[in-house]
Chains A and B, each alone.
Chain A
Amino acid sequence: MATVDLENLTVRFGEVTAVNGFTMTLHQGEFIVLLGPSGCGKTTTLRCIAGLQQSTSGEIRFDGKPVTRLTPAERNIGMVFQFVSLYPHLTARQNIAFPLRARGVPRPEIAAKIDSVAKVFMIGDILDQYVVGLPPGARQKVSLARAVVREPDVLLLDEPLSGVEEQYREEMRWELRQFQKELGITTVHVTHDQREAMSLADRVVLMRDGKIVQSGPPATLFDNPADRFAASFIGSPSMNFLTLKIAAGGLGVASDQSLGVSAPQEAIDRFRAQGLNEVILGIRPHLVELANEAPIGQNVWPAQLVDAVLVGRNLQAEFAVGGQTIKAELPSDAAIGPTSVLRLPPEHCFFFGPDGSRVG
């Protein structure tokens, strides 16, 4: 268990900057998830921590000791790869023993360590099977066991669940969290699946184009996204975005000023002071309300139904409002017709500038 310090980590491949000035401190025992779309630099960052990738500049420290020049073998880490790279010619037991034998740990000690780790992951009964025949869940556990048997300083997980079938994934997520809490190892997990990040992380680090967009507990990223990208990336189904215009009369939907939006006057003044005449309104679909009885006014608008799909027990309805689209998640018995009235509660509305930054 160790604290991990990443200072100004930068990785360049020719003209492409994959990681750009990544700085963060991971506390002991913390479960950090690096989240982002393909190409955002999360895997490159992970591989730098592992030592499989050399950084162009920047420092990495474990417990204050610089490791940037050390090889992976010298860093005392455990890693689980995306496609579970167990040694196929060995049994589960031999796989787990491998890192210990590679370092010349005496046999009795190896046996003891394997037993204790097998208990944690509950794989005692499959230890002597060849890993090739094991189901994906068991393979993951063996892979984790192998990674932690040496009691590494840091545990690194590179999208370990993406090769696992959907039906097992949820179960394995819960188990992964349990194991991590039990073992208390500082863990860095890379994924593009924001559901996974929400579920597993103590802290989520959202990345894009090599930079950190926002970092914090999952609830913070969900309730208080730092910018438009964070707002749209986190949460499924995605957030609605509507273009608004700032006119003399106040804030209204760009294509139809009669649809007014309520916002505190200081906010509107601030927008004008910043020279904006357009802002983007963001609201999550499950927070859009059906308000057929309410009088039309600010944040209460008539809408034409475009499409409605029953997904689970909710109706995912798509409406056209002033030429733009709003998706709402409503109960399956909601009374929607070709025209309905939608209400956007002001307390759930976010405002973004045209450049994507958060302005309200």
Chain B
Amino acid sequence: MSKAVLDVRGLKKGFGAKFALDRIDISVVEGEVLGLLGPTGAGKTTTLRCISGLHKPDAGTIRLAGSDVTHVSPMVRDIAVVFEGFNLLPTLSVYENIAFPLRSPLYRVPEAELRERVTRAAEDLRISHLLDRSTDQISGGERQRVAVARALVRRPKLFLLDEPLSSLDLKLREALENELRDMHRRRGQTLIYASHDFLSTAAVASRIAVIDKGRLLQTGKLAEIYADPAHRRVGELVGSPSMALLEAKIRDRTLSIDGYSKAWPLSALRLESLANGTDVTVGFWPEDIDLVMTEAPDFSPTTLWATDFRGRDQAVEVHFGANRVRKVISIRTDLARGQSCFVRLDPAKAFVFASPNGDRLRPEGRRGPGNGVAS
């Protein structure tokens, strides 16, 4: 039974008239990597700053390894943070940067042990050869590793990474994501990784918390989120490409998607309580949408809008009615803008969201994941 390292309940934080965080609940168990996924301005940084103690929350509690640290000053909480930009001390060498936290009077680490821990952290991050350099002589990727080493050398209970990779080259980012996973595997360090990039988060995290506009929309393993997205925004933020969200209306006890040739009876979706005339949004994961180039029974016509070569496959965007769908398909060289394509949507794979607030309308008569459709 893994013990909880972090338990945040009801976190609220406002700045002046605006609120940045609204009732955030997060818990992280020992050894896990929690991904905090959300667009810029969603509140990821504010959340991390509250957890680390740099901001005082307006309400809520933060418990670290069982003790309440909500009002404890940051230097005393056993948390390490790596910020975007890394915040290395420019006047010190790499060795001194890594050693810095241990020199704080709070810890009073004897010099011999300090040396040993710094060298070990440097080995872990493979920067032992850089220890004597000054921080302006090393590359972006190396700086990130120094920042991580500096945070790790204290062996904190919890490690927070705030979008540490977004300023880096794509290839470097990939390499460092691998290293983070590697490092986590070897040391069992508990991590919260905040990012706006879905692929980056999914590559590193074991569980994902989706946050938008200060609210936590859903937390769970990626497979759970795929099976049961809680909100339309979750569909927009998760997946690459993200969920296809289609405008639809309830008419004559059936659900018709704008531009799609078939309508489905509400009973098939187990949403009989929806009234006629209601507007809803229907979401499909692109992988659940079938797309072909020639007419076929059960397929509805669409127009090809754009193609995007991705090397081993391509992404296409098709339009029908007021709706757009982006999907990844294998490479074809015969595609032209404006040509007809045909899509088939499976009501068993449909997720219905209320419009305009985006809440998921779960099938009636059954609680739990899945959309409960008998196909």
**Contact present between A and B (CB < 8 A):** yes
Tally A residues with Cβ within 8 Å of B: 36
Q: Is the CB of B174 within 8 A of A219?
A: no
Cα of A34 to Cα of B312 in the assembled complex, Å: 20
Cα of A173 to Cα of B306 in the assembled complex, Å: 11
Q: Is the CB of A238 within 8 A of B311?
A: no
The 10 closest A-B pairs by CB, nearest first: A222-B311, A311-B202, A192-B169, A313-B287, A174-B306, A199-B308, A193-B170, A310-B222, A235-B311, A198-B309
Q: Is the CB of A312 within 8 A of B202?
A: yes
Q: Is the CB of A174 within 8 A of B308?
A: yes
A187 at the interface (CB under 8 A from B): no
Stretch in contact with the other chain, from A141-149, A162-170, A246-254: A162-170
B287: which A residues are within 8 A, CB to CB? Answer: 312-313
- 10 A–B contacts, CB within 8 A, in A order: A37-B172, A173-B308, A174-B306, A192-B169, A192-B171, A233-B171, A234-B311, A307-B181, A312-B202, A332-B223
B74 at the interface (CB under 8 A from A): no
Cα of A199 to Cα of B239 in the assembled complex, Å: 19
Closest chain A residue, CB of each to CB of B238: A312
Give min CB distance, A15 to chain B, whole Å. Answer: 16
B83 at the interface (CB under 8 A from A): no
Q: Is the CB of B196 within 8 A of A166?
A: yes
Q: Is the CB of A165 within 8 A of B40?
A: yes
Give min CB distance, B327 to chain A, whole Å. Answer: 12
Q: Is the CB of B239 within 8 A of A312?
A: yes
B196: which A residues are within 8 A, CB to CB? Answer: 165-167
* B contacts, CB < 8 Å to A: 39-40, 139-140, 169-172, 174, 181, 185, 196-197, 199, 202-203, 221-223, 226, 236, 239-241, 285, 287, 306, 308-312, 315, 317, 326, 331
Partner of B39, one of A38, A165, A233: A165
Contact with B along A28-68 (1 / 0, CB 8 A): 00000000011000000000000000000000000000000
Q: Is the CB of A313 within 8 A of B285?
A: yes
A235: which B residues are within 8 A, CB to CB? Answer: 311-312
Closest chain B residue, CB of each to CB of A285: B312
Partner of B170, one of A236, A286, A310, A316: A236
Cα of A234 to Cα of B169 in the assembled complex, Å: 13
B221: which A residues are within 8 A, CB to CB? Answer: 310
A353 at the interface (CB under 8 A from B): no
Q: Is the CB of B308 within 8 A of A309?
A: no
Cα of A170 to Cα of B242 in the assembled complex, Å: 11
Cα of A199 to Cα of B310 in the assembled complex, Å: 6
Given the interface pairs A167-B39, A311-B203, the reply to whether A37 lies near B310 with Cβ below 8 Å is no
Closest chain A residue, CB of each to CB of B308: A199
Q: Is the CB of A198 within 8 A of B202?
A: no
Given the interface pairs A166-B197, A192-B170, A313-B287, the reply to whether A218 lies near B223 with Cβ below 8 Å is no
Q: Is the CB of A37 within 8 A of B169?
A: yes
A245 at the interface (CB under 8 A from B): no
B139: which A residues are within 8 A, CB to CB? Answer: 38
Partner of A237, one of B40, B174, B223, B310: B174
